[in-house]
Structure 1
């Protein structure tokens, strides 16, 4: 596979972060080669909710998320994958949660539209304990099992060369060594997500990178209806940056810790999205470590199922699939570092790669080029 002519950019990793850099490079007229150790993307990019939740971000994450939103809409048309401009409903089931949503509306205006109880139930059909909510109309939904593959196919049509089943051995200025030979490249982006510590262990340690393991499930929708928006809850408020500046959020956190300590300890983000086939992706819990045991306790799945069943107002749910999600986690939301001249190591270390990757990629290439 050793190349004679160098490409302008070699991208290591065909997850959404790597693909975003390839898309951005193509838009700038660069020649690109993408290396992926597996035969297709199998990591965080296909195991998530497919939720482009830009509205719930803050700071740089919000900036990247809004830029990525424009790219998602363009790519859906050009690459031909399913997308919905359906927004997100944040359901309030307690007065303190509704107070937080009022504070969010005061700050964001039309980007966070307040809903009364009947409007929430009309959009998402939950249990009777819902008292109101808010609509974040700018958020998107895609099918994460379809979109990365569609983007890779589209990139191939644009002249990008993909080397599937090709593992990275090392990088150095001007050269990428792989399990199938070497590629000459003027610039390199290493976007291997939570496996960044396998490639650059010292760099990962310096940034405090760990893995975040999620428990997620796909279930039959018990109400058999079409749900356009994604659904977030009070538990979600504890995990998204836009809510952190709401003065009364500590009251929500304190109540949930008092009333549902097991859920809070498990890092529950009680939410769901609907897939094109009508099933629901539900979850998720969060646990952090460098290396996880391979054994899963049933209690976490039972927690997610019980909480979601209660949210939907049904006694139980029919499980179709279970899986572990995984992403890189670090104190800062984005890792961008320079392992050597003309290379960048890039990882979204906050679990919002689908939401922000296309905005991040533009920033990285602005610097790298």
Structure 2
């Protein structure tokens, strides 16, 4: 008698099977468990090692717009609850946006006027009290609702908390075939009432036609961890004028057009590499700095040294510091598409969910409950 092959073996069954244990997948597991659903998570690696651990750990809630703002504010409540229940590190320090030119401050003035208390304008002294900055600061804004987590700890803490709630994780297990009611993995078959495909930028590995229609690409970032040159505690995340070009909440500010034109004129190399000059402080005191952006369906495997040199030089100038001591360097990759949220049903009972705008940590915990609300109509 011939024994069954591994992928023919019954492995598990659940109301909801989630493929991918990054923050988007875990967010769905968090809310599914709260609704009394049985949940299985399939993850190809031994632990989450993708975009969910390679970021700033910045809950940049306030600078979002449209649906992203709604998801972000709901996610804020969920992050605070998880910090208490799952034991993850969280800092409610807000965000300081540093303006080093009058056109940057003009954008912040318009943003603060439109957001009714969600942004507090700062003068030069108040900026320096909250964050270490160099010369040339004309003012800034404080976004008090934003938070920071340690991305290297947060998703692992959430996964451990979910396991304690009865969620079954199949680590080191690849999803080979997804069909209505069934996920065939490298270790066996899993029966599913519904399937959530939370595979980030790898949607095209499973549903290439869907990815092509959505215009899905990979965005590659360069980020670094450096020693804090000032040795002081920095509670908020710190953004710069370059950041004002990166977040949707600032798009409606009329002054942003003039700011973009100036930065493109004065710093063409920096705008060409998509610099978002910012930093956050890790619990150990080091700074996570970055980042640059490059887009392709299949990115080149080689990184120009210019990227790291540019980030280091501009961060040192922002900090008013000399040479920075680098502890680590890494490449982050996330999904990018014209629509910041890719949600699609390629077959009955199977839903693809990908945050295609680099704000998964900020929005996923608010997006997930709305996705789950709609699942009963998509039964297998």
TM-score range, shorter chain: over 0.9
**Greater mean deviation of Cα atoms: 150-159 or 285-294:** 285-294
Match of 2:20 among 9, 13, 20: 13
RMSD over equivalenced CA pairs, Å: 0.9
The answer for the alignment partner of 1:151 in structure 2 is: 158
The answer for the alignment partner of 1:242 in structure 2 is 249
Farther-moved stretch of structure 1 (156-165 vs 310-319): 310-319
1:367 is displaced (CA, Å) by: 0.9
Deviations for 1:183-217, whole angstroms, at most 9, x for unmatched residues? Answer: 00100000000111111111101100000000000
User: 2:187 and 2:165 mapped to 1: Cα distance?
Assistant: 23
1:326 corresponds, among 330, 333, 342, to 333
Q: Which residue of the partner structure matches residue 226 of structure 2? A: 219
Correspondences of 1:14-33 after superposition (within 5 Å): 14-33=21-40
Deviations 1:211-262 (A, max 9, x none): 0000000000000000000001110000101100001101110110111111
TM-score (norm 2): 0.96
Q: Does structure 2 retain, via aligned residues, the 8 Å contact 1:56–1:240? A: yes
Secondary structure in 1 matching 2:62: helix
Alpha-carbon distance between aligned partners in 2 of 1:282 and 1:128, rounded to the nearest angstrom: 19
Q: 1:5 Cα shift?
A: 6.8
Aligned partner of 1:43 in structure 2 is 50
Could you tell me how far 1:292 is from its partner in structure 2? Answer: 1.6
Structure 1 pair 119/161, CA: closer, same or farther in 2 (3 Å)? Answer: same
TM-score by length of 1: 0.99
Q: Which residue of 2 aligns with 1:65?
A: 72
Cα deviation, 1:73-93, whole Å, max 9, x if unaligned, reads 000111001001110000000
User: Which position in structure 2 is the counterpart of 1:98?
Assistant: 105
* Map of 1:310 onto structure 2: 317
- Match of residue 191 from structure 1: 198
Q: Is 1:281 aligned to 2:288, yes or no?
A: yes
Distance (whole Å) between structure 1 residues aligned to residue 208 and residue 239 of structure 2: 35
Q: Give the structure 1 partner of residue 239 of structure 2.
A: 232
8 Å CA contact retained: 2:71, 2:367: yes
How far apart, in 1, do the equivalents of 2:189 and 2:372 lie?
23
Give 3-state SS (helix, strand or coil) of 2:140's partner.
strand
Alignment of 1:128-207 (within 5 A): 128-207=135-214
Distance in 2 between residues matched to 1:6 and 1:81, nearest whole Å: 29
1:340 corresponds to 2:347: yes
Q: How many angstroms apart in 2 are the aligned matches of 1:343 and 1:291? A: 26
Q: Could you tell me how far apart the structure 2 residues matched to 1:204 and 1:52 are?
A: 27
Q: 356, 362, 368: which one pairs with 1:355? A: 362
How many equivalent pairs are there?
Answer: 369
User: Which position in structure 1 is the counterpart of 2:129?
Assistant: 122
**Cα distance in 1, alignment partners of residues 320 and 11 from structure 2:** 62
Which runs of no fewer than 5 residues in structure 1 stay unpaired?
Answer: none
